Amino acid sequence: MSNVGTSVPRTDGPSKVVGTAKYVDDLSMPGMLHGATLRSPVARGILKRIVKDPAFDWTGITFVDATDVPVNVVALIQDDQPVLASHEIRHRYEPLALIACDDALRLARAARHVTFEIEPLPAIFDPRASFERREIVAPPDNVFGRYRITKGDAEAALASCEVVVSGTYSVHHQEQLYIEPQGVIAWFDERGAHVHGSIQCPYYVQKGVKKTFVLTESDVDVVQTVTGGGFGGKEEYPTVISLHALLLAKKSRRPVKMIYDRQEDIEATTKRHPAEIGIVTGCDRDGTLRAISIHVLMDGGAYVTLTPVVLSRGILHAAGAYRWEHVLAEAVAVATNTPPNGAFRGFGAPQTIWAVERHLDKVARQLGMDPLVLKSNNVLRVGDTTATSQTLKESVGIGECIEKARTASDWDRKRALGPVVQGRKARGIGACVFMHGAGFTGSGERRLKGRVALDLLLGGRVRIRTASTDIGQGTETVFSQIAADALGLPMSQVEFLQPSTARVPDSGPTVASRTVMVVGSIVEAAARELKERIDAEQAATGLDRRRAMDALVFRAMGTAEHVYDTPRDLEWDDATYRGDAYPVYGWGCDIAEVEVDLDTFETKVLGFWAAADVGKAIHPTHCKGQIEGGTLQAIGWALHEQIVWKDGAILNGRMTNYIVPTSLDAPPFTTLLVEAPYSRGPGGGAKGIGELPMDGGAPAIAAAIEHATGISMDNLPCLPEDLFERARKGRAA
Amino acid sequence: MKLFTYDAVSSLPAALAARRGTFFAGGTTLVDLMKLEVLTPERLVDIGSLPLTKIEATPARLRIEALARMADVAASHDVLRNYPVVAQALLRSASPQIRNMATIGGNLMQRTRCSYFRSVAEPCNKRVPGSGCGAFEGDNRSHALFGGGPACVATHASDLAVALVALDATLTLTSAKGSRDVPLAEFYLLPGSSPSTENVLAPGELITAVNATGGPRAARSLYVKVRDRASFEFALVSVAAALALEGGMVKDVRLAAGGVGTKPWRLAAAESALRGQPATLAAFEGAAKRSLEGAMPLSGNGFKTSLLERTVVKTLARLGGVS
């Protein structure tokens, strides 16, 4: 019996198809109120007074401001963000007050009868101005995080290299645009606080609720309802909306539902961090890469949220998938007066990989080399050391990725042909080579100690209890496959318990490409332990399998709870940022072929070849789905998506004007799975791939545009008018 | 959304007898704007079930009744064969779901996509006369090159209207007093100092049909639309062209542009430059230059001038079979 490696029907599929799956907005509680957030109309200022219109009838409307908040911080990395601003306002849309009412229409009317007296302060939107401290918008120095990685002596090496190339690259905000907007229902009862909602990480929400309401673990139950996507956007933000709903629930003594509409969701919640990256590299004339120096400046937005961690992952990926003897990488993240930037698939890596890949295309141009040959010649292999001096010991499938993508896309012929101009259109092909650390950085897993429990149930069934959420990516199905195979049971005998902090152990957050690889391996270990118990029971009693399982349940021996067995040979030093940054890496080679209209400079992606080393594809269809979905998100970032800002406000906060690709914009995908198994991965070697596919799309598209037109884009997005402007300037020069 | 009353009428006389109210058919624009509280009608008069859905597209004559759905018109073989620019403009509009609901009359009555018009928090002379214009000094990437002024620079959003201007189409307008035919190019008004008045419809008057004459020019027509993604997006720039050739010479031509004007913009200077010229790339390029006459770029939409010029060339080159 083998479920692993087979694309079994997804376990959550039928209920979603027939509409019985309950998303948070499908739920209702007796006596429930609707809640709304009143937000700052300015980007920076001092809140002087909140004015409730005395002419309005406030009967039946619950009103909450900062004076109602027991401990006014959103507990995350640093407790700098208030649940409701009481004095200083740091960004447009910052929550200032909350209202609730049983009638949603009256609620909307009431919202218009609250005004804020605010003394405006000068705001900063340019991270460079923040870095130079032209205003202090986040005391003491506007800095949210700093990292430095060194290997060898990059400065000295660069001085003696035959070919030195430098460049500056930048990337912009991106909205996650999950299908289901943020939403929760929250209430208090005799057992404590309850939150049900669209949540990636129930234990993060629990942590925030404990802190703000001064409660203990057993007082707070956070339940994940069926969730329509997250992409990181539901990692930290659900804590904020949950705290808001609970504040209203506490004051009104009623359950409160808060659901953002699309505009509020786009305006108020987190985005991908913009960044500016300067790179200087040195290499030999034959293209052997020697030294790299990297400087990253990242825009954190108004509060710390997860910025230091995003910056960390960004700098750890900044040298790309290559062998360098000498590395100097410095990164700093600063505050600006926009809504806080936060987690988004890739988590800092797409930003720095954009830069290093564009840079290596530039190096190849200067050397007159095929860029894929340059990249392939220098790519990391087993035995090489990374920028953090980590020696790669296993599961490096990048060579096979490059070969597969190269052959399938007919790279050699198409690249050698040069740009193909037919009539008024030009075709070109470009490539990106990349890696993405799977699981938490450094000692993260060791500190976290993720746990999973498996229960035998009467009737020969097994139940998985984990805090790893299925937000559409298939956790439920894949965990069931892993557990079923480890136990020797059919999938139909395995259940997945709805995550609830009262009923599932803390497996850690559903982030960092760690769900399948890390938590899946805990599921597998717990399942193996149960299997051993069942085998022993059968051997001792001669019972058949099902009776043996029931016997264990009766003797209260039916539950196996496992803690992650952190690989002991990993060494990481947080102080020097040196060592085994990640237990293992996912690897990828993306090749894009585009056609640029030479009249309008519209870019059409004709084909996309994505080769990814996933270790082992537990569910090949889901795995390819992740790769194609992530790549399309990257194509959107490269060609369509752009937040339009004005004084810290978002001018295009709707799906009609925040442009994401449609199915017609999606290219034909050729997705090539490479399996270089990871010795500690579940199901025979699976690695995390949730974020990997976000990394390669944008650089591959830009490289293809360059091949087709000679226009080299160092910043995103590649809109038609930007391409034309570059072409015009190129002709003028 | 503000409260409103709703009445459905089942005959044209009943609709025309409705003394006050806002006509409602497919609802694809109106409901959206009501949710945003950009429009707050007190009464909706639903005309969606009136029998005004006939599509006639012979080689000689085009007549589309106002409540025909966009999808049905786009799918008509006669329209595609005899008036391809109409079918193409419709198919490049909106999404399949919207095209299934939206009507031809409603399409021509749709409001601008200007983000200042669509946001009640921003000033907008079109929405609140006298409140000012946020776009003139603000973000105006999508705004007009032609026909605007300090009061308003919002573009007209309809693709269909651009195609119909290239066919010299007329509209049949019907009121309780009777019917009149108005050239589409004269139906829309420039914003001037009162951008809230967008057309010549009298109160209680209804568009009941779209008319155009066929012929070789209409049969050799094309709609090219440049936008930020392949579907479900309005034009940055679009060009509708209808070209009559005779012995390699341009006998007659119509050119209209979308995404660049406060109303569908006829490129008359480019047309005259092209008439009687050989159908060559050089002639097309020369005419395209003339299409920019009168353009007044704003701070953020300067790229549209050259984009328009290049799109005119592209459209004519494809229609004329040259490259």
- The pLDDT tens digits of the residues spanning B63-116 come to 999 999 999 999 999 999 999 999 999 999 999 999 999 999 999 999 999 999
A243, exposed or middle or buried, with CB in 10 Å at 0-12, 13-18, 19+?
Answer: buried
**Which residue range(s) make up the domain with B309?**
216-320
CATH of domain A24-122+176-268: 3.90.1170.50
Q: Are B47 and B30 in contact (CB under 8 A)?
A: no
- Identify all chain B residues contacting A661, using CB atoms and an 8 Å cutoff: 229-230
Mutation target vs A (from B222, B228, B298, B319; most A CBs, 10 A cutoff): B228
Nearest 5 degrees, angle CA A302-CA A308-CA A313? 130
Among residues B169, B167, B162, which one has the least CA distance to residue B257?
B162
Please give the DSSP secondary-structure letter assigned to residue B268: H
A72/chain B closest Cα distance in angstroms: 30
Q: Are A439 and A512 in contact (CB under 8 A)?
A: yes
Q: Are A665 and A640 in contact (CB under 8 A)?
A: yes
- Identify all chain B residues contacting A651, using CB atoms and an 8 Å cutoff: 115, 138-139
- Identify all chain A residues contacting B135, using CB atoms and an 8 Å cutoff: none
- Identify all chain A residues contacting B233, using CB atoms and an 8 Å cutoff: 659
Q: Which helix (H) or strand (E) holds B44?
A: strand B43-46
Q: For the segment B226-267, what is each residue's pLDDT rounded down to a tens digit?
A: 999 999 999 999 999 999 999 999 999 999 999 999 999 999
Residue B273 lies in a domain: yes
Residue B261 lies in a domain: yes
CB pairs under 8 A between A and B: 60
Which residue from A minimizes the CA distance to B322? A423
Q: Which two structure tokens, joined as six digits, stand for A557?
A: 């021996």
Which residue from A minimizes the CA distance to B237? A600
Where do the H-state alpha helices sit in B36-75?
70-75
Q: Which residues pair with B179 in a beta bridge?
A: B174
CB contact under 8 A, A600 and B226: yes
C-alpha atoms less than 13 angstroms from C-alpha of A408 in its C-beta half-sphere? 22
Average pLDDT over residues B4-11: 96
- Identify all chain A residues contacting B38, using CB atoms and an 8 Å cutoff: none
- Identify all chain B residues contacting A604, using CB atoms and an 8 Å cutoff: 230
Of B115, B228, B307, the CB nearest to A640: B228
CA distance A274 to A352: 10
Query: B241: domain CATH number?
Result: 3.30.390.50
Residues 221-260 of B with CB under 8 A from A: 226, 228-233, 236-237
Which residue from A minimizes the CA distance to B95? A662
Q: Are B223 and B239 in contact (CB under 8 A)?
A: yes
Q: Which residues contact B292 (CB under 8 A, 6 or more apart)?
A: B145, B305, B308, B309
B254/chain A closest Cα distance in angstroms: 20
Of A661, A724, A725, the CB nearest to B229: A661
What is residue A733's predicted lDDT score, i.e. its pLDDT?
65
What is residue B18's predicted lDDT score, i.e. its pLDDT?
85
Q: Which residues contact A267 (CB under 8 A, 6 or more apart)?
A: A92, A93, A339, A649, A650, A653
CB contact under 8 A, A651 and B139: yes
- Identify all chain A residues contacting B310, using CB atoms and an 8 Å cutoff: 599-600
Proportion of chain B above pLDDT 90, given as a percent: 95
CATH architecture of A446-563: 2-Layer Sandwich (3.30)
CA distance A177 to A269: 10
- Per the listing, tokens 């505050």 go with A335
Any B CB within 8 A of A725 CB: yes
Q: Which helix (H) or strand (E) holds A496?
A: strand A494-496
- Per the listing, tokens 């799977």 go with A438
Q: Which helix (H) or strand (E) holds A192?
A: strand A192-197
What is residue A731's predicted lDDT score, i.e. its pLDDT?
77
What is residue A272's predicted lDDT score, i.e. its pLDDT?
98
pLDDT at B178 over 80: yes
Which sign, positive or negative, has the C-alpha torsion A54, A57, A63, A67?
A: positive
- Identify all chain A residues contacting B141, using CB atoms and an 8 Å cutoff: 644
Any B CB within 8 A of A669 CB: no
pLDDT at B323 over 90: no
- Identify all chain B residues contacting A720, using CB atoms and an 8 Å cutoff: 226, 236, 303, 307
- CA distance from start to end of chain B: 52
What is residue B20's predicted lDDT score, i.e. its pLDDT?
84
Among residues B70, B62, B65, B81, which one has the least CA distance to residue B212?
B62
CA distance A138 to A301: 10
Gyration radius from chain A CA atoms: 26
A565, exposed or middle or buried, with CB in 10 Å at 0-12, 13-18, 19+?
Answer: exposed
CA distance A411 to A451: 45
Of B139, B229, B307, the CB nearest to A665: B229
Q: Are A151 and A294 in contact (CB under 8 A)?
A: no
What is residue A418's predicted lDDT score, i.e. its pLDDT?
87
Fold equal for A275-441+576-729 and A446-563: yes
What is residue A68's predicted lDDT score, i.e. its pLDDT?
98
C-alpha atoms less than 13 angstroms from C-alpha of A373 in its C-beta half-sphere? 12
Q: Which residues of chain A have pLDDT under 50?
A: none
Provide the domain count of chain B: 1
Instruction: Classify A22 in phi/psi space as left (phi over 0), alpha (psi -120 to 50) or beta.
Output: beta
- Identify all chain A residues contacting B306, using CB atoms and an 8 Å cutoff: 724, 728
SS (H, E, C) A671-708: EEEECCCCCCCHHHHCCCCCCHHHHHHHHHHHHHHHHH
CB contact under 8 A, A659 and B323: no
Q: Which residues contact A17 (CB under 8 A, 6 or more apart)?
A: none
DSSP, collapsed to helix, strand or coil, labels residue B152 as: strand
- CA distance from start to end of chain A: 66
Q: Are A680 and A395 in contact (CB under 8 A)?
A: no
What is residue A482's predicted lDDT score, i.e. its pLDDT?
98
CB contact under 8 A, B226 and A719: no
Among residues B39, B23, B33, B46, which one has the least CA distance to residue B196?
B39
CA distance B165 to B151: 25
Residue B4 lies in a domain: no
Any A CB within 8 A of B97 CB: no
Q: Are A502 and A221 in contact (CB under 8 A)?
A: yes
| CA torsion, ordered B146, B149, B150, B156, to nearest 10 deg | -60
A240, exposed or middle or buried, with CB in 10 Å at 0-12, 13-18, 19+?
Answer: buried
CB contact under 8 A, A720 and B306: no
What is residue A1's predicted lDDT score, i.e. its pLDDT?
57
CB contact under 8 A, B307 and A662: no
CA distance B310 to B313: 5
CA distance A433 to A356: 10
Residue B119 lies in a domain: no
B303/chain A closest Cα distance in angstroms: 6
Distances (CA, A) of A351 to A20, A276, A354, B38: 39, 8, 5, 38
Please give the DSSP secondary-structure letter assigned to residue A512: T
Among residues A141, A146, A50, A47, which one has the least CA distance to residue A91?
A47
CB contact under 8 A, A423 and B311: no
A636/chain B closest Cα distance in angstroms: 9
- Identify all chain B residues contacting A594, using CB atoms and an 8 Å cutoff: none
Among residues A635, A605, A617, which one has the least CA distance to residue A716?
A635
- Identify all chain A residues contacting B317, using CB atoms and an 8 Å cutoff: 424
Any B CB within 8 A of A18 CB: no
Distances (CA, A) of A658 to A274, A644, A654: 17, 9, 6
CA distance B182 to B180: 7
What is residue A167's predicted lDDT score, i.e. its pLDDT?
98
CA distance A467 to A530: 20
The full set of domain ranges for chain A reads: 24-122+176-268, 275-441+576-729, 446-563
Which residue from B minimizes the CA distance to A660? B229
Q: pTM for the complete prediction? A: 0.96
Residue B187 lies in a domain: no
Largest CA distance in chain B: 62
Q: Which helix (H) or strand (E) holds A251?
A: helix A237-252
Residue B97 lies in a domain: no
CB contact under 8 A, B229 and A660: yes
- Per the listing, tokens 């505009």 go with A263
CB contact under 8 A, B307 and A600: yes
Gyration radius from chain B CA atoms: 19
CATH architecture of A275-441+576-729: 2-Layer Sandwich (3.30)
Q: Which residue type sits at B231?
A: S
- Identify all chain A residues contacting B311, using CB atoms and an 8 Å cutoff: 599-600
